[in-house]
Amino acid sequence: MTAGVNAWNAAPFPAQPTATVPVNLISVSQATSHAVKVLPFFYSDLTTVERARTVWEAFEENTEGLPDKSRLLVFQQKLKGREAERWWNNKTFKTLKVRFHNHFLSRTADELWGRLHSTKRQKGESIEEWGDRVTDLCDSLDYPDARMRYQQFRRGLNNRRMLAILDSSPARDIPEACEWLMVKDMYRPVDEDDDFEEAAPSKSAAASETPAILKPMADQVKALARSAFVRERREGMEEQGEQRAARSASAALRAADVGGRTVRPPTSYAATAAEERSRAPWYSHG
């Protein structure tokens, strides 16, 4: 059985004898606890169709006879991965079985091909575990060409030292590549963070595509904002003009009341100031 996080997903293993023990001879809690102990973890993010089927058969056999609530609890305890929480809301064992079958055992060939081409070696994953994952995906697709399997294996490597070693090796299939890397003490290498930053461009690329997808909407928003700005500016200028006209009319009325003189209303701030000065008393000195 492959060690590490893929322990659950290893080669088929015989069912434990839990199912053969009558539940009425031991408490349900003891039977549930025993099932949790004997079943390894199931890492849903790294599984394949074959491994998922093996996982389910072992789980179903080792929890047979337990009430639904206990079986669901065992499944919850053994499930790991990014999507683990979505499986915790099942009410019955039958519902869990249908969902598991639809999600893991009914994948189309297109989905499997997409997963094969996009899957990458995980940080800290041994070279043997990575080779097993690629092999299982290829088996799921009935993809027997050893050279092409090797290319899929190599393409998913992130470690630069591994790639450099394979470049100078005679390996032409996955077993040879694993053996060569293990001889070079690369069974489980110390991975650098920089080697795994290559996956980031896919996210940034998706982010960079978003403006192109939303460009018509963005252009429309910009046009509306520009139109609103122009309209507000025009309305502001008109309001300022009305205020200036009102001030001019008020100044004209005040000028007409002074000594019955007819004064031309000012048309600007400077003219208004000049008019005010002209009305101030003039005193001669000397």
Secondary structure of 159-221 in HEC code, one letter for each residue: CHHHHHHHHCCCCCCHHHHHHHHHHCCCCCCCCCHHHHHHHHHHHHHHHHHHHHHCHHHHHHH
Q: Which of 108-112, 146-150, 281-285 has the lowest mean pLDDT?
A: 281-285
The size of the chain, in residues, is 286
**Tokens 């998922």 sit on residue:** 52
pTM score: 0.40
* 104/174: higher pLDDT: 174
Mean pLDDT computed over 97-110: 76
Average model confidence (pLDDT) for the chain? 72
Residues whose CB falls within 8 Å of the CB of residue 213, separated by 6 or more in sequence, listed in order: none
